[in-house]
Amino acid sequence: MDSTEFRKRGMEMVEYICNYLETLNDRRVTPSVEPGYLRHLLPSEAPHEPEDWDKIMNDVEDKIMPGVTHWQHPRFHAYFPAGNSFPSILGDMLGDGIGCIGFSWAASPACTELETIVLDWLGKAIGLPDHFLALKEGSTGGGVIQTSASECVLVTMLAARAQALKRLKAQHPFVEEGHLLSKLMAYCSKEAHSCVEKAAMICFVKLRILEPDENASLRGQTIGEAMEEDELQGLVPFFVSTTLGTTGSCAFDNLPEIGLELQKFPSVWLHVDAAYAGNSFICPELKPLLKGIEFADSFNTNPNKWLLTNFDCSTLWVRDRIRLTSALVVDPLYLKHGYSDAAIDYRHWGVPLSRRFRSLKLWFVLRSYGISGLQHYIRHHIKLAKRFEELVLKDKRFEICNQVKLGLVCFRLKGSDKLNEKFLSTINESGKLHMVPASVNERYIIRFCAVAQNATAEDIDYAWDTIVDFANELLEKEQHDELTEIINKKKQDTLAQKRSFFVRMVSDPKIYNPAINKAGTPKLSLDITSPVVSRGSNPIIRTQSSVEHNSWISWPLAFLFNSNNDEKSSNVSLRFRHLDTNVRPSSSRRNSGAGSSPSPENEVNYVNMQQQQQQQQQQQRSPRKSPMFMRKLPSTQNNHN
Ligand code: PLP
């Protein structure tokens, strides 16, 4: 394709994109295809000879589009928004056209400098403290664009880990790093995104997953008690990941409380993941949600979720850029340049070396909409969410399950989880709306998010009317099924009673004893402490004590050790692995004082986790053979008692 044809095809593509976005309503929001659908439509080999552009574009419409989930569709209310806007698309297009790889200042000075400036702009607009801004006089902090929030959490955990190991190594110079690493403990709430668990796996550290309060908010006292308890065990708290705007229900951890609590643990890195909600802090009236940020070491938000910027654009700010980069620096000769000491080299701020010119699209967005335009957009989505909440509240068959602060409403039909599961899957199968569920406070809830850029009140009303139609149909059917079930059960009971009476009459002389008759049939009790509870395909090991207990430890790579070389038994989803046992790491240091660092030279080694698991597996080989990834800790309250 030469530039003459590119001009022509480029214009056609812009036309195609505009048509696509303007006529989204005519398409099903979710595709109705089966896995592998595309394999049957495309050849198994790449073409040897060049193909005609029109033919390629025809295939886009005929073969690709039928398998696309339309995230920009006005009936798409799942997950969080996937940011999209024309200025952003154009910014990406320009970045792609320039096609530079800005891993260092010298590799493309504008790419680096624009990123620093735009991150300062956005940081100021959100209301981050000055120490997060790179260009503020005396600041040691700064911002960087990462590919995803998961990467932001990972690199901050890596930085915190490096700091902690450095500190421990200074205290215990003759102890191997690997041994020191085994002491490190990170913390997050059960409501934190699963990327925190993934980061802990990659960093090879333990992660203690804590129970939030009834509003899904992690509290300072919970963190403080867990860290004190772990220190008594000889472990070293080093990283806390908090969430402002959780994925499940857009709940907010209590950052001021947690920040204050962490003053007792000054070397612990406090990260704030505000992947969705953070964008909204550009509205002055929402800035109170950011309270406590002054305690944080790092903060991330995704403009590619809720700031009209296309994926990928996840922004991360750190209080101390040296603490971040010192965990990630590698400096081969071929990447050095004359200004290495005077300029920012973003390759030291993340995992990849190569980086796209992503700041362009954010710059385009910030300039085209202005802060006021972005504030308007955020407020519009919140207004739509409030409208939806009001509609739900008016119908007594439904309940609201979260505090609606931003664009996410969590709701459910009053009734069982099973009923709600059925309800949501029927709606989703229809292709008329798309929503996803979450589990909050052990309940199945349905998430409804205001997503489409130009969503209107009519779109919300349409969604609600559709939901009500499905609810009417389902509840009517349920009532009918329930009635039929009662009648059938009654019939069966009467028949069973007659049969049983007859059988017992002819076989069991005790039947003639009236006292036995009065005692009736023994009732089946639901044993909530039964050891294995299966949820979907993931087994959850529930120990007798786990009902009162409230935190878990995720062990790095435990799933590998657990597999016992049996490929089939390791076939367990890594997401939301809240599996627990009643084992906790044993330590010879139970009696060491709180706040003191462990003294690994003198201690008896921690029980090797792999050995522990093998022992446990041997003990438990029969009858249950369940994976044990998470180790349940006794609740702090219980300990204190
Ligand atoms: N953190 C939170 C609070 C999220 O809601 C999400 C995704 O929705 C993530 C992290 C992961 O985001 P990413 O896909 O950018 O890694």
Give the pLDDT band of residue 556 (cuts 50, 70, 90). Answer: low
Share of the chain above pLDDT 90, in %: 68
Q: 369 CB contacts (<8 Å, ≥6 apart)?
A: 85, 87, 308, 377
Span from the CA of 149 to the centroid of ligand 1 (angstroms): 5
pLDDT at 572: 36
Q: Where does ligand 1 bind, in terms of residues with CB under 6 Å?
A: 80, 148-150, 193, 195, 243, 246-247, 273, 275-276, 302, 314
Mutate to test the pocket of ligand 1, among 79, 148, 193 (most ligand atoms within 8 A of CB): 193
Q: Are 470 and 246 in contact (CB under 8 A)?
A: no
The per-residue pLDDT of the chain, averaged, comes to 82
Ligand 1: nearest atom to the Cα of 150: 16
Instruction: Considering only residues 551 and 131, tell me which one the structure prediction assigns the higher pLDDT.
Output: 131
pLDDT of residue 637: 37
Selected from 3.40.50.1820, 3.40.50.300, 3.40.50.10470, 3.90.1150.10, the CATH number assigned to the domain covering 373-475 reads 3.90.1150.10
pLDDT digits (tens, 9 = 90+) for 4-39: 999 999 999 999 999 999 999 999 999 999 999 999
CATH label, 94-371, candidates 3.40.640.10, 3.40.50.2300, 3.40.1260.10, 3.40.50.360:
3.40.640.10
Q: How far is the CA of 150 from the centre of ligand 1 (A)?
A: 6
DSSP state of 276: T
Q: Is the sign of the CA dihedral 411, 413, 414, 420 positive or negative?
A: negative
- 593 vs 309 pLDDT, higher one: 309
Q: What distance in angstroms lies between residue 192's CA and the mean position of ligand 1's atoms?
A: 9
Alpha-helical segments (H) within 310-456:
321-325, 359-394, 417-430
Indicate whether 286 pLDDT > 60. Answer: yes
Distance 195 CA to ligand 1 centre (A): 7
240 CA to centre of own chain: 15
Question: Comparing 81-95, 215-229, 539-553, which segment has the lowest mean pLDDT?
Answer: 539-553
Confidence at residue 632, expressed as pLDDT on a 0 to 100 scale = 41
| Å from CA of 153 to ligand 1 middle | 10
Q: What is the dihedral of CA 207, 213, 218, 224, to 10 degrees?
A: -80
User: pLDDT digit string (tens) for 155-187?
Assistant: 999 999 999 999 999 999 999 999 999 999 999
Residue type, 11: M
* pTM for this predicted structure: 0.80
Query: Could you count the other beta carbons within 10 Å of the beta carbon of residue 152?
Result: 30
Q: Which residues of 572-610 are buried (b: 16+ CB within 10 A; e: fewer)?
A: beeeebbbbbbbebebebeebeeeebbebeeeeebeebe
**75 alpha carbon to ligand 1 midpoint, in Å?**
22
- Over residues 230-238, mean pLDDT: 95
Q: Which of 153, 242, 273 is the best mutation target for the ligand 1 pocket, counting ligand atoms within 8 Å of the beta carbon and taking the most? A: 273
Instruction: Determine which residue's CA is closest to atom 8 belonging to ligand 1.
Output: 247
Please tell me the least confidently modeled range out of 379-383, 540-544, 608-612. Answer: 540-544
Using most ligand atoms within 8 A of CB, pick from 71, 276, 316, 408 the residue to mutate for ligand 1: 276
Question: Which tens digit of pLDDT belongs to each residue from 393-436?
Answer: 999 999 999 999 999 999 999 999 999 999 999 999 999 999 99
What is the end-to-end Cα distance of the chain in Å, rounded? 75
Instruction: Report domain extents, the chain.
Output: 94-371, 373-475
User: From ligand 1's centre to the CA of 310, what distance in Å?
Assistant: 15
Q: Residues 80-118: pLDDT tens digits?
A: 999 999 999 999 999 999 999 999 999 999 999 999 999
